[in-house]
Chain A
């Protein structure tokens, strides 16, 4: 029997435990034993007290003493690899050497697929629930009121949503996407097929912008002004072209005067959605400018809760992991929203575009049914954090 097969007693930690530590900003030492390329592509990020050392597991094979010497022995070591095996192996080596080490259950893949569910609003009329994928910086929402539930931008692991709706004793009646996503695979079409609830998206987004091919999924077209009732809540569609041609915001109005705006990749708390992921950045930037300067003011007042589809860094959220804020706060803290004329704005946008991840073209294909990946391929397409915001 080899050494690794004897190591059945190494303790593990779960993605949920890791995320709780990160939100509490507890000092945490991560030993990431994936290869350098994987580590460079994406790694676990914390608030201020997370320390990471990348030391590929195969270096332990060459120089166990030297590697172990680089790992601090005065604190617990959280070992992470791609799928679990290598981190278990390294944690076992460290444990034998007297370190306190645990490894991440399911590896980086399970961290990437970890969902965090919590209430943003819990009122007499119902709830707004945030469903986040912290590793990716992806956010989605459920609105539950009067026994009905609507989802906004649900992601690939659809059971999370079905469970939370069932726990609330509600029925899923409407599925909204703010746009056809480029960075992650939507759960909308699959949820619609499983439950019979309609899936809404703007028809402009149902054409692949690079392939120029139409969607082969079932969807219901929505446009400016279309409104819906979910229990006691009214949801109104507002067109916000720029990130995509068919990007819409959904405005929520509750009977107690509470309002919210699900902004998708329109505006984020600290930035806004880049206009170049359709391959037409220069043509779409003026449209984005008008959405930000002319359309947005008609959709919000100072107290409207901005509920975006992404965050870029964890400090955009509060200590409870809620990534939503009143528009008055967003306007003050979102440098990207500061007044600029169209020429300044265009220069600002076109000089702050991050890299264009090549897989984003394929993800858009998947989201309108032009391509159907297996689970493993889907995990690879979605590896790492979203790059939907401007980098400025």
Chain B
């Protein structure tokens, strides 16, 4: 599992909220730290990849899918780079 510094829970949130909240949260993070985002929206997997490509100061350092109690959770690890 990718190491991280803080967690943002966006379970149940639908597009665009996982990204809107992550954008805000990463701005509050010290440079160099990693935010773990926990989402249930499957569309977030491709969207985080697309966002990381265009976003300034953000790097997608990992993505995982885990099953918790029968529910798929999509984990995105994003690093503030500047």
Contacts and interface: CB of A to CB of B under 8 A. Distances in A.
B11 interface: no
A320 interface: no
Interface string B40-82: 0001001101110011100000000000000000000000000
| Binding site secondary structure of chain A | helix
A81 B15 contact: yes
A38 interface: yes
A91 B4 CA distance: 34
A111 to B, nearest CB: 16
Nearest to B55: A62
Nearest to A2: B20
B50 A58 contact: yes
Interface residues of A, number: 18
Nearest to A81: B15
Contacts of B19: 57-58, 61
Contact of A85 (B14, B46, B55, B56): B14
A35 interface: yes
Interface residues of B, number: 16
B17 interface: yes
Interface string A68-85: 000000000000011101
A268 interface: no
Interface string A29-69: 00000011110000000000000000011110110000000
A86 interface: yes
A86 B23 contact: no
Contacts of B14: 83, 85
A85 B49 CA distance: 19
A86 B47 CA distance: 11
A36 B50 contact: yes
Interface in A252-300: none
Contacts of B47: 35, 56, 58
Nearest to A38: B46
A62 B16 CA distance: 13
Nearest to B13: A85
Contacts of B54: 56, 58-59, 62
Interface of B: 14-17, 19-20, 23, 43, 46-47, 49-51, 54-56
Ranked 10 nearest A-B pairs via Cβ: A58-B51, A35-B50, A86-B16, A61-B23, A85-B15, A89-B16, A85-B14, A86-B15, A57-B16, A58-B19
26 contacts: A2-B17, A4-B16, A4-B17, A4-B20, A35-B50, A37-B46, A37-B50, A56-B50, A57-B15, A58-B23, A58-B47, A58-B51, A58-B54, A61-B16, A61-B20, A61-B55, A62-B51, A62-B55, A83-B14, A83-B15, A85-B15, A85-B16, A85-B17, A86-B15, A89-B16, A89-B20
